[in-house]
A and B are shown apart, each in its own frame.
Chain A
Amino acid sequence: MDLSLNDDQIAILDTIDTLAKPYASPPMQDISFALTSEELDRELFDGGFLDIAFDPDLGAVSAALMIERLARLPYTVEAAASALIRPLIGADLPRPICLVEEGKGRRPVRFLRPGATMLVVGKAQVSAFTADADHIRIEDTLYGYPMATLVVDPAAAGAVPLDVSADELRTRWRVAIAAEGAGLLAAALASTAAHVTDRQQFGRPIATFQAVRHRLAEAQVRANGAYWLAMKAARTLDPGDAALAALHVQQSAGPAVYDFHQFLGAMGVTLEHPLHLWTYRLKALIGDLGGRGEQGIAAGAAIWG
Chain B
Amino acid sequence: MNFEWTEEEALFRLRLQDFLARNLPADWEAVAGHGPGSAELTEFSRLFCGRLADEGLLTPHWAKEIGGQGLDPWHQLILAEEMWAAGEPRGAQYMNVNWIGPTLIKYGTGEQQARYLPPIAAGDAIWCQGFSEPGSGSDLASLRTRATADGDVYRVSGQKIWTSYAGLAETCFLLCRTGDDRKRGISILLVPMDTPGITVRQIPSIIGEGDIHEVFFDDVVVPATARLGDEGQAWEIIAFSLTNERLGIPRYHLARTALDRAVGILKDQGEFVSETVRVEAANAAALCEAARLASYAIVSRRARGEAIGAESSSARFGTVMAERRVAEFIVEYLSESLGDAHPYLKMHHQRGIVAGIAAGAAEIQLNIIASDVLKLPREPR
Which residues of A are interface residues toward B (Cβ below 8 A)?
1-6, 9, 61, 65, 189, 193, 196-197, 204-205, 207-210, 213-214, 216-218, 220-222, 224-226, 228-229, 231-232, 235-236, 241, 243-245, 247-248, 251, 292-293, 295-297, 299-301, 303-305
On whether the beta carbons of B282 and A300 are closer than 8 Å, the reply is yes
A231 CA to B287 CA, complexed, in Å: 15
Residues of B within 8 A of A3 (CB): 1-3, 293, 296-297, 300
Given known A-B contacts A1-B4, A207-B370, A236-B3, A221 and B317 have beta carbons under 8 A apart: yes
Question: What does DSSP make chain B's interface, helix, strand, loop or mixed?
Answer: helix
Extra pairs beyond A210-B363, A217-B366, A229-B289 (17, CB < 8 Å):
A2-B304, A3-B2, A3-B297, A193-B375, A197-B377, A208-B377, A209-B379, A224-B311, A228-B290, A229-B293, A232-B289, A241-B289, A243-B282, A247-B283, A292-B283, A296-B278, A305-B267
Indicate if the CB atoms of A1 and B9 lie closer than 8 Å: yes
In order of increasing CB-CB distance, the 4 nearest A-B pairs are A225-B290, A296-B279, A228-B293, A300-B278
**Residues of A contacting B365 in the complex (Cβ-Cβ under 8 angstroms):** 217
**Are the CB atoms of B318 and A225 closer together than 8 Å?**
yes
29 contacts between A and B (CB under 8 A): A1-B5, A3-B3, A193-B374, A205-B376, A213-B366, A214-B363, A214-B370, A217-B370, A217-B373, A218-B317, A218-B366, A220-B369, A224-B318, A225-B287, A225-B290, A225-B318, A229-B286, A229-B293, A243-B282, A244-B289, A251-B286, A297-B278, A299-B285, A300-B282, A303-B282, A304-B260, A304-B263, A304-B278, A304-B281
Interface string of B160-176 (1 = CB under 8 A from A): 00000000000000000
Q: Which residue of A lies closest to B295 (CB)?
A: A228
* Residues of B in contact with A (beta carbons under 8 Å apart): 1-6, 9, 74, 260, 263, 267, 272, 275, 278-283, 285-287, 289-291, 293-294, 296-297, 300-301, 303-304, 311, 314, 317-318, 321, 363, 365-367, 369-370, 373-380
Set of chain A residues within 8 Å of B294, measured between Cβ atoms: 221, 224-225, 228
The reply to whether A1 and B293 contact each other, CB–CB distance below 8 Å, is no
- Given the known interface contacts A189-B374, A208-B378, A213-B366, the answer about A2 and B314 at a Cβ–Cβ threshold of 8 Å is no
